[in-house]
Chain A
Amino acid sequence: QVQLVQSGAEVKRPGASVKVSCKTSGYTFTSQGIGWVRQVPGRGLEWMGWTNIDIDNRKYAPAFKGRVTMTTDASTRTAYMELRSLTSDDTAVYYCSRGDGIAFDWGQGTPVTVSS
């Protein structure tokens, strides 16, 4: 079956960067892209962006442009999301999902805490 397994919880200082990984299995990795969504505690879902193996074919939400980079490694079937210049407002659970528009399957989530 399809599985997306994300890296573990992170604690970062303000101004630092975080890189979250999403290792996939159970489907043809190159057939669909990976999206990223975050959820601030007690709040709703916020779409961050999407990428596939074509590095020229990435889409980022305006709120994150210039601060986020999404990549994939087809050899390890893993997607990555790096967010820079962290502030306390970036404290959230970050999810990866499989699909180009529809998020068919989701990772378990990676909590990221930004605190001095």
Chain B
Amino acid sequence: EIVMTQSPASLSVAPGDGATLACRASQSVSGNVAWYQQKPGHPPRLLIYHASSRASGVPGRFSGSGSRTEFSLTISSLQSEDVAVYYCQQYSDWPRTFGQGTKVEIK
């Protein structure tokens, strides 16, 4: 199965600063990567699909990029409501697999 590895495990960012989260696939997944945001006590929420397409209602400060094995999620100006765990997921092959998550906190 395809292993998705996220880095860093956690990130502390000052309000208004930018943050970049990385996700690496163990083999090429083309552009078939999604990013999800999960806040405590809530289900995940789709942010990005096809590596760089924003889901409906997602603020413009969230952007995704990458292809094949290297992907990233960027939050351009961190807001307090962005505190959450972020997961990448590949849907290029079965079984679908998630990264272990990156926890984003406010400094």
**Does chain A bind chain B?**
yes
CB distance from B26 to the nearest CB of A (A): 15
CB distance from B31 to the nearest CB of A (A): 12
Residues of B within 8 A of A29 (CB): none
Given that A44-B87, A101-B32, A103-B36 are known contacts, is A59 also in contact with B46, CB under 8 Å in the complex? no
- Asked whether any CB of chain A lies closer than 8 Å to the CB of B66, the reply is no
Please tell me which one of the listed residues B34, B38, B87, B95 contacts residue A61 in the complex, with CB atoms under 8 A apart. B95
- A45→B98 contact, CB < 8 A: yes
Residues of B within 8 A of A100 (CB): 91
The interface residues of chain B, by DSSP majority, are classed as loop
- A47→B43 contact, CB < 8 A: no
- Asked whether any CB of chain A lies closer than 8 Å to the CB of B81, the reply is no
Give the nearest-CB partner of A47 in chain B: B96
Residues of A within 8 A of B99 (CB): 44
In this complex, how many residues of chain B approach chain A with their Cβ under 8 Å: the count is 24
Give the nearest-CB partner of A109 in chain B: B43
User: 1/0 per residue B82-107: CB within 8 Å of A?
Assistant: 00010101010011111111000000
CB distance from A105 to the nearest CB of B (A): 8
Give complex CA distance A104, B49 in Å: 9
- B44→A59 contact, CB < 8 A: no
- A101→B91 contact, CB < 8 A: yes
CB proximity to A under 8 Å, residues B45-101: 45-46, 49-50, 55, 85, 87, 89, 91, 94-101
Residues of A within 8 A of B100 (CB): 44
User: 1/0 per residue B8-49: CB within 8 Å of A?
Assistant: 000000000000000000000000101010100001111001
Chain B interface (Cβ within 8 Å of chain A)?
1, 32, 34, 36, 38, 43-46, 49-50, 55, 85, 87, 89, 91, 94-101
